[in-house]
């Protein structure tokens, strides 16, 4: 069961794990060694993942600043979140950014994957080139992009005021530069997924279709796209989830600015929680953020699976 299978098996009533290891000792308990293999991992995971989650939820009902004394304040942190312009703006920015970046990443990746899947010269070389962004630290290559946007582009496109005045300092358009960087890196992984999806389609399907006189576009719409549905689903869900939590590209390019116009939810939680004395408040924000991401992911699975074909 890997990612693409998970997409399929999350559909209600479809979870039927294969029971490969049940040939013997069905009724008996597992050998003690198996418990020894699992328990340390469970304890470590609970200690460093589940405990922080619970501690976080606990403190979200207090007024803890990150230091000193604290009191319970009920759900007032949660109520205040919905009245806080800065929080609402961060959600607005994160969603705008994530939706645009997801659409662009998937459209571009699919196009490139189709190109790489055609019979081209030096295909392995090109495939290797397109994967390079994945292995670079986005923060570090982001600083190169930052130089490009703030120093190179103003000189190259001096005729266009938007670029001449450094797009990164533009209230309205700075977010597009972040999209460029995030998509630049996001495509690397998405292309590989789409490419392996395309390779699962039998060539005979295209032969049959072209005998029937189907055009290239028609073939893409009726064969290619439905058959890579699972790959499309996983790419869209993963990229939207990742882009909603955007952090590194923003730190590299604008650091949330100008003002707070490119401040994402993660950046806000980081800033408010660590240096703003809003530990409890931002934890409440994180809890809401978790719920939002889960709802969005599950919603996507439901919607996207409905129109997925299998063969």
Partner 1 sequence: MTSMTNTAAQLESEADAVAPAPRRRQRESDDDTRKTNWWATALIAVCSLTVLVPLYLAVVVALKTPEQLTNGTGFELPNPIRWENFADAWTRTEFPQALANTALITVGSVVFTLLTSSVVAYALARNIHRPFFKGVFFYLLAALFIPFPIIMLPLVKQTSILGLDNQAGMILLYTIYGLSLNIFIYTAYIRSIPIELEEAARVDGASTWRVFWQIIFPLLMPMNATVGILTCVWAWNDFIMPLVVLTEPSARTLPLAQYVFQGQFNTDYTVAFASYLMAMAPLLIIYIFSQRWVISGVTRGSIK
Stretch 178-217 residues interacting with partner 1 (CB under 8 A): 184, 189, 192-193, 195-203, 205-207, 210, 216
| String of DSSP letters for 84-116 | -HHHHHHHHHHHHHHHHHHHHHHHHHHHHHHHH
* CA atoms of 127 and 160, how far apart (whole Å): 34
| Length of the chain counted residue by residue | 311
Strand partners, 62: 72
Query: Closest approach of Cβ 129 to partner 1, in Å?
Result: 5
String marking each residue 153-172 x if it binds partner 1 according to CB under 8 A: --xx----------------
Query: Closest approach of Cβ 261 to partner 1, in Å?
Result: 20
Give yes or no for residue 277 binding partner 1 (CB under 8 A). no
Of 1, 107, 160, 309, which one interacts with partner 1 (CB under 8 A)? Answer: 1
Counting Cβ atoms within 10 Å, is residue 300 exposed (0-12), middle (13-18) or buried (19+)? middle
Of 75, 79, 99, 132, which one interacts with partner 1 (CB under 8 A)? Answer: 132
Give yes or no for residue 147 binding partner 1 (CB under 8 A). yes
| String of DSSP letters for 33-71 | HHHHHHHHHHHHHIIIIIHHHHHHHHHTTB---SSS---
Query: Closest approach of Cβ 239 to partner 1, in Å?
Result: 13
With CA atoms as reference, report the closest residue to 140 among 93, 185, 79, 207.
185
Of 12, 13, 14, 17, which one interacts with partner 1 (CB under 8 A)? Answer: 17
Of 11, 55, 88, 160, which one interacts with partner 1 (CB under 8 A)? Answer: 55
Size of site (CB under 8 A) for partner 1: 117
């Amino acid at each position: 069961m890997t990612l693409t299978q998970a997409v399929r098996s999350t559909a209600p009533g479809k979870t039927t794990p294969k029971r490969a290891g049940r040939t013997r000792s069905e009724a008996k308990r597992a050998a003690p060694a198996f418990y020894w293999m699992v328990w340390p991992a469970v304890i470590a995971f609970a200690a460093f993942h589940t405990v922080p989650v619970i501690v976080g939820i606990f403190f979200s009902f207090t007024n803890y600043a990150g230091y000193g004394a604290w009191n319970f304040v009920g759900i007032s942190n949660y109520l205040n979140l919905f009245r806080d312009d800065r929080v609402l703006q961060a959600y607005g920015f994160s969603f705008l950014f994530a939706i645009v970046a997801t659409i662009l990443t998937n459209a571009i990746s699919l196009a490139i994957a189709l190109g790489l899947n055609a019979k081209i010269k030096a295909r392995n070389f090109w495939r290797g080139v397109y994967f390079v962004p994945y292995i670079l630290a986005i923060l570090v290559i982001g600083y190169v992009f930052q130089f490009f946007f703030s120093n190179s582009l103003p000189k190259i496109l001096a005729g266009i005021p938007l670029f001449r005045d450094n797009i990164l300092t533009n209230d309205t358009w700075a977010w597009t530069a972040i999209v460029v960087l995030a998509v630049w890196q996001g495509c690397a992984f998405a292309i590989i997924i789409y490419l392996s999806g395309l390779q699962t389609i039998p060539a005979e399907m295209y032969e049959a279709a072209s005998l029937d006189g189907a055009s290239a576009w028609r073939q893409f719409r009726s064969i290619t796209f439905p058959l890579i549905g699972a790959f499309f689903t996983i790419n869209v869900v993963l990229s939207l989830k990742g882009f909603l939590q955007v952090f590194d590209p923003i730190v590299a390019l604008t650091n949330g600015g100008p003002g707070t116009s490119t401040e994402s939810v993660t950046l806000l939680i980081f800033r408010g929680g660590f240096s703003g004395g809003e530990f409890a408040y931002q934890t409440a924000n994180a809890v809401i953020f978790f719920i939002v991401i889960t709802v969005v992911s599950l919603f996507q699975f439901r919607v996207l699976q409905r129109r997925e074909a299998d063969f």
